[in-house]
Structure 1
Amino acid sequence: MPAAWTGLNLQPKADSLLISSIDWESPAWKAGIRSGAVLPKVNDLPATLAAMKASRPDETLKLLVY
């Protein structure tokens, strides 16, 4: 099953993910998330690319964004 499409383009950091860009009109864009923000947690767990890829299309993600 493919991962959920958030519209986030991410780069791994030491203890978080950097949001390098956002797809226009994506769920992330509509939620007000913008490039340059940091994503330290996904569903109350440390944010990793693996965690984002493991998300399902029918899943709601809880993102902590700075």
Structure 2
Amino acid sequence: MAVPKRKMSRSNTRSRRSQWKTTVPTLVACNNRACGALKPPHQACPTCGQYKGRQVVGV
């Protein structure tokens, strides 16, 4: 396993950590016209329980 020879400076550590970014989760509108709630893509709607126009989760 690689072990660093020297202590990494505070500025180098902080510049490396500045790349740790969070992203806003992607949300799409539910295909159910009565619902229309925002949900993650390729998942069943947590509000109405439908996926691609059919009921897959009992809510």
TM-score in terms of structure 2 length: 0.23
Which protein shows a greater Rg?
Answer: 2
RCO higher in 1 or 2 (8 Å CA, sep ≥ 6)? 1
TM-score in terms of structure 1 length: 0.22
